[in-house]
Structure 1
């Protein structure tokens, strides 16, 4: 997406914490990512100060959104998307909404950015079959929305890719034409695991973890004994043989969290809890966030942050 819409020196606005590959594409386009800290209010109204408008509006060309959010599990509402679309229209921004987790919601049904009155005129929405249909690695996805952006994507694809393997295309066609009964079953499986892990973490470890509103990850605060998520993740790998994703991979504002995926069965999650119980760690730190939405408070990441996001993000 970035290579379709950004010229060298342009600015793209990305969430922090957020999916690291947004940074990778921006840097490949020789553009500059500017990070927007996600706020802890569940349904914050997105506003930006006049000072920040003057500073960034001439250079900023693209705004990335992702709800339900990876890694925090937050969801957005119609009012949030409508105000975001209005802001983008007023300041010449293209909005790229990553809707990869759109099928996974536990409190309210996720809404499409394209529902906003100006959504289709300012942006596109990306949808992947990787999560909903367990096709991770097949790289089957599609984009809908603004016609000019779609044409730019098609032009780029024509010069970079030839075609997707026909068997994948046929399988994707069958998946998209099927009903959603399997999606409901999959949601129930993830929700059961989420409830189990949160209950056991609180009961056996005193580890308070917020329940996500969407996606299938837990965004867990790290104990006070550790300074950074990478340190805690390395410690868990060494002492429990369990891999969690350090929150610092997702941006500077994720450094006090780790992302725990709920793709493992309950038996393995229970084993993880058992291994944590014997460690000399105090988990009684309250979660710092109860949900995440864009606040439009800008924070420029450091060069080290860029390199870290790109290097590690490629292997997630």
Structure 2
């Protein structure tokens, strides 16, 4: 029955400034051409968008700036006004402040009021968690339309004075792996032309006994007065390379079982978007025989909680036609959350 279904009506994105390629990063940080070749070969990300001016160190866009633009575009694409929204949910690892919550700042800018709002603090799977919360709101019957937001501004953690030649790999990788962006999607109990029906969606914490694969710190005045601090951002890239593909396989199996699909029924794959190289490795391992990859990471970088919504935007822009099927997979590596969704074009 249609009233028990949830549909994604639209998705949109916002990227800060022009793309920054690997050559530009190499020049800014005084790295030689061999470093640029290393990034291409071992990371596989060609460019990213940064909400930071690399010369001055000035932040050009906040998360609220990007999420506002993405949210406005998603509402316009769905043909909706702010007053049509019954709830707003944001997934992010990098809110602009601890308070006020960035989701509420964005809602205010969009003219949304008198609704429920939620901000989920999470790594890459936060956008899928936000989709899950929105879906549960709609399935409960307490609302007809929910605006989902996801994004991160990771460049704010860059130390532009750092000597990358002396930087440990766990920190160095952050300067090439990530990009900044925000995305948005509108979910509804009512389908529309070009929308997609949610056939399955889940998120699950699987971090018991696992060491964090990624860490973002925040500091208080007492921390700053206490001597040497941990790096603001670090990655255990080896642990991520080892665990994400296996978790992605688990997610795919559960999605197919829930939707009642066979591997050959899947037309589009929205794979985990850690880096260009890792995305290729994971897609090959998932071995969906007829699925086309929907990938944005090589051009936009790993933009955290925006990446799934950027993939959705591309899928809904003509790829996920009526009757076609898509699966999306996202793995959060800070304390390990596996998540995914299955969609069918309306």
Normalised by the length of structure 1, the TM-score is: 0.31
Name the TM-score, length of structure 2 as normaliser: 0.29
